[in-house]
Every structure is written in C-alpha cells, then in structure tokens.
Amino acid sequence: MKDNQRTGNKRLTKKVQKLLVDDLTKKELAKIQEQLKPSVNDIKPVLLTCKLKIHPTPEQEEVLWKLAENCRLLYNFALKERIEWFNSNKELPQDKREKQIRFASQCKQLPLLKQKYPNYKQNYSKTLQQTLKCLDANFRSFYALRRNGYKDANPPRYKGKNYFTTLQYNQIGFKVVKNKITFVHFYPSKEETNIELSFQLNNKFDFSNRKIKHINLFQNHKTKEFFVSIVFELVTPKYYDNGIYQAIDQGVMNLVAGVNSHAGKTIVTKNYRTNKYWQPKIDELQSKRDHCKRYSNRWFWYNEKLVKMKRKEANQNKDFQHKVSKKIITNTKANTIIIGDLTSKEMSKKKIGDKKSDKSLHRSMHNSGSIARFARFLTYKAKIAGKKVIRISERNTTKRCSFCGQKKNRKLSERVIKCDCGLIIDRDINSAINILQRFLAVISLSQKRPVTGQRLLREFRQTFFAKNSCENGSPSHRTREDFELKVLV
C-alpha cells in the first residue's frame, strides 16, 4: 500500500514539475537559468548610496543655481538635437537613416561649445559630461520601450526654467575630509573671488576611508531642500548555495507570502495600506484646492498641505518596505531567495478585449507602495548579507493547484483556493509554493544538478503535503487559519 502511494506521489511530483516548466516561455526559462550560473557580480563589491541633507548659504545657493542652469541649457540643447534626428529618421528604413547622435559625438562638441559660450567654463567638466550621459540613458530607455512594443512612448521632455538640474560628479571634482565635502567649480562671485562650495555632513559614516564612486548634488523640487547622494563601495561576503531556499510571492493585500524549502513553514505579512487612511484626506483636500482659482494664494496654501500629505504617505510606505525586507534577510536561513518577477505596470495594464478596467484595483496597486521597489530593497540587502535574490516568472502560479497541478481561472475575489483534489489553501501561499516548485524544477533541468533538484522538490512536497495527507494520499482540507501566519512587522 505504501509502495503504491510513494509511486503515485513520485508520478504526481513529475507531473507538476513538467507543467510548471512548460508554462514558461523560452525567454523566461533562459532568464532563470542565466541567474543560476555563477556571475562576476557575485564577487564584485556592492554600491551603496547615502542621501544627506546640506544647508547652503544664500551665496552658495546662488552659485549652485548658476551651475545647474548651465547644465539645464546643455541638456535642452542636446535633447533638441536628438529629437530632431528622431523625427526625421523614425519613418525611414534602417539602411537609409542618418548617423545616429550618440553620447560620444555630443561630448566631442563640448570644447567648441565652451569657446562659443564662455559661461559653460564655470562648470567642472565632469558635470557637463554627466549631464549628456544622463540624457543618453534617458534616450536608451525610450528606445527600449519602443522596441518592447510600447509605441505610445514619448521622447524625454525639456527641463523648465525653474528646474534645478542635478550636478553629477563622477570620481573626481570633489574632496571629502571626515564629514566635510567640497566641490570644484569656476564661477566668480560679484567680488571676482570664488565662493567655496563646502558643506558639513551630519552623518555617522566617515567617508574619508571609503572608496567613493559618484556624488550627486540635487534639490527636492517640492520642499526646496538641497541634498547630496554619495555612492560608495562596500565589500560583501561571498555567496554560496547552502541548499535552503525561500520563495516569496508579492501582492496588494499581502506584501509578502512566503514558504521555505527545508521546513515547509509559511510567512504572511499584510501590506501596510497607508492609502486607506491618507486617500480620503488627500481627495478632500484636492477637491478644495481644485475649486480655488489656479495659482491664487489659497490655491498655493491647499497645494502645500497636499504635497506634505503625499510625501508623508510615500515615506511611510518606503519605511515599511525597508523594515520588512531587512527582517526577511535577517531571519531566513536560506542563502537563495526566489521572488516573483512582476511590476505594478504589467499588473494594471488593460488587457485586449476588456471594455473596462478595474479602477479600484489599479489604484490600490499603485498606492500600496512600489512592488518593484520592494524587490530592489530585498536584492541589495541580500547582497550585503552574502545572499542572492533570483527573480522567476509568476505565469500561472495562481491558476495552478500547487498539489495536483490542475489549472483553473480564478477571480481576484477568490482568496482561498478549493481544488478538486481536496486542497484548500490561501491564494498567495499557493502561488509562493508554485514559485518554489518551479525554481526546483528548473534546477532539475540543469546538467550539473538534475538529481539534486528532483530530490529537493520531492522532499519539499513530502514535508509540506505528506504530513497533512489523508489516507488516499490527497491533502486534507485546511482553511486559511490552519497555516502558521506570522506578521514580521
């Protein structure tokens, strides 16, 4: 009897393994296999950014605005040149187009531009080069969107007169001594003497002993406060695979629904829905502001309060995601964390044939904090701890039963899955289990570790399902409350 049951479980495991892999496209499968290979990035030190507030004097602020204005004009002139090339060549075939304008060609024009317009000599050369590099990155992103099918994507926009363009210093052009930072510039004051751009940094780090790679000096356009972002290197422990894996499914209601491979324990963290509190207040204030005459004193009064509310809501979401991601990295024994590869843009995209979209869902999705941002937090915190985050496609992970592999379309309101095989399980936990099983199935396809992947998948299913199985081998009926739900924060 037991031998027949084991044989049936092995067949079911192989069936689920095949179904989860077959759901993947060739591109998605290749992406997962590429992440499994040892990478040079696993050895490289991680780059961290420290954002610090500075307090310039009125004289220093005048200099900063003048330098930023030069960068803004350069950005707009270079942008105009690129947009003209794009408009004149976008309809032509590839072989008849003019030579494309690139970062290197625009950089070569800087010496001639400085001779024609001497005010550009006031800036350190690196800041002008980095401005053109920023424009080049924006255009690369624009071209990538059009290649991926977003034909409505528009080119980057011009920067307005009151826009403080970020001053970027790459490796040189600044000096850091303990907690004091000084920037190089050549702008003369009214007395024809240079005003020193030196600022005191109130921070616990001593940057004099760290390898600084990049510094940005910018202004928050809403609060009008000045900041510096210091990018520095941090040596991290070397990653190794300890054979323990943690799978995480992200969502709107539950920020994290996870399951581990060695014990089969589940974790669920409810999303900190700040929009439930802030959105009615924001809507009310926005309605009052919109009933005022635009740019009147009362309009500005309401607008200032509205900006503060939105900023506080965003900060609360960001703080919560920082705490949860740190707690996960600290508490998990797994050195490899698998998360679903998705973005709120894809989730809220209107499908072909849908006459109307779920506006409430889209609003909840965008107001519950950035899903992609949480994945970034988890990735860099894992790198610091010597761990690794692997992103895997979530295709059909909710539709398929994690026990028998049966596929069924489910409504978003269906939070508990009831399968014909007898499994009753929470929707998000089912998705997390399928993510983990898909990852282990992909491992079993590799030439180096086929047996290991099959063994890990079989052991996980025995741990998670077999201990709660009925006499016929199917999982017992379990409600959502039967799972061990642990709120991390």
In which band, very low, low, confident or very high, does the pLDDT at 480 lie, cut at 50, 70 and 90? very low
* pLDDT at residue 359 greater than cutoff 70: no
Could you tell me if 227 and 220 are in contact, meaning their C-beta atoms sit under 8 angstroms apart? yes
Conformational region of residue 295, where left means phi above 0, alpha means psi within -120 to 50, and beta covers everything else: left
pLDDT at residue 5, as a whole number: 54
What does the pLDDT average to over 260-267? 85
Q: What is the pLDDT of residues 195-209, one digit of tens each?
A: 889 999 876 777 777
As a dihedral over the C-alpha atoms of residue 190, residue 195, residue 200, residue 201, rounded to 10 degrees, the angle is 100
Q: What is the pTM of this model?
A: 0.79
Decide: 426 and 415 in contact? Cβ < 8 Å: yes
pLDDT above 70 (res 356): no
* pLDDT for residue 21 is more than 90: no
Residue 26 pLDDT exceeds 50 = yes
- With both helix axes pointing from N to C terminus, report the angle between 427-445 and 26-36 in degrees, rounded to the nearest 10: 70
Residue 481 has pLDDT above 80, yes or no: no
**Whole-number pLDDT of residue 91:** 82
Mean of pLDDT values over 296-313: 93
Distance CA 482, CA 462 (A): 18
For residue 392, what pLDDT is reported?
92
Residue 136: pLDDT band by 50, 70, 90 thresholds? very high
pLDDT beyond 50 at 282: yes
How confident is the model at residue 423, as a pLDDT? 85
CA distance linking residue 468 with residue 91, whole number of Å: 63
**How far is it, in rounded angstroms, from Cα 426 to Cα 482?**
10
Of 232, 227, 219, 169, give the one whose Cα is nearest residue 199.
227
Identity (one letter) of the amino acid at 446? S
Q: What is the mean pLDDT of residues 232-255?
A: 89
- Map residue 452 onto helix, strand or coil: helix
472 pLDDT band, cuts 50/70/90, is very low
- What is the structure's pLDDT at 134? 95
Beta strands 336-340 and 245-249, pairing class: parallel
Q: What is the mean pLDDT of the chain?
A: 84
End-to-end CA, the chain:
46
Report pLDDT digits (tens) over 160-204.
988 999 999 988 899 988 888 999 998 875 555 678 899 998 767
Least confident of 347-351, 353-357, 377-381, 406-410: 353-357
CA distance 18 to 407: 13
Give, for 88, the enclosing helix (H) or strand (E): helix 58-89
Q: Are the beta carbons of 207 and 232 closer than 8 angstroms?
A: yes
User: Is the confidence at residue 389, as pLDDT, over 70?
Assistant: yes
Give the DSSP H/E element, type plus range, for residue 132.
Answer: helix 125-147
Is the pLDDT confidence value at 338 over 50?
yes
Q: Is the pLDDT reported for residue 489 higher than 50?
A: no
Helix (H, G, I), strand (E, B) or coil at 389: strand
pLDDT confidence bin for 413, thresholds 50/70/90: confident
Instruction: Determine phi and psi for 178, rounding to 5 degrees.
Output: 55, -115
pLDDT at 274: 85
CA distances (Å), origin 33, targets 235, 391, 392, 448, 450: 26, 11, 10, 12, 13
Q: What does the pLDDT read at residue 53? A: 93
Q: What tokens were used for 243?
A: 């054979």
Q: Looking at per-residue confidence, does 209 or 25 come out higher?
A: 25
pLDDT of residue 471: 37
Sequence-ordered strand ranges (E) for 284-387? 336-340
Q: Which pLDDT band holds residue 8 (cuts at 50, 70, 90)?
A: low
pLDDT of residue 302: 95
The pLDDT assigned to 217 comes to 96
**Closest residue by Cα to residue 101 from 77, 85, 80:** 85
Mean per-residue pLDDT, 118-147 = 93
Where is pLDDT greater, at 353 or 428?
Answer: 428
- For the chain, percent of residues with pLDDT exceeding 70: 85
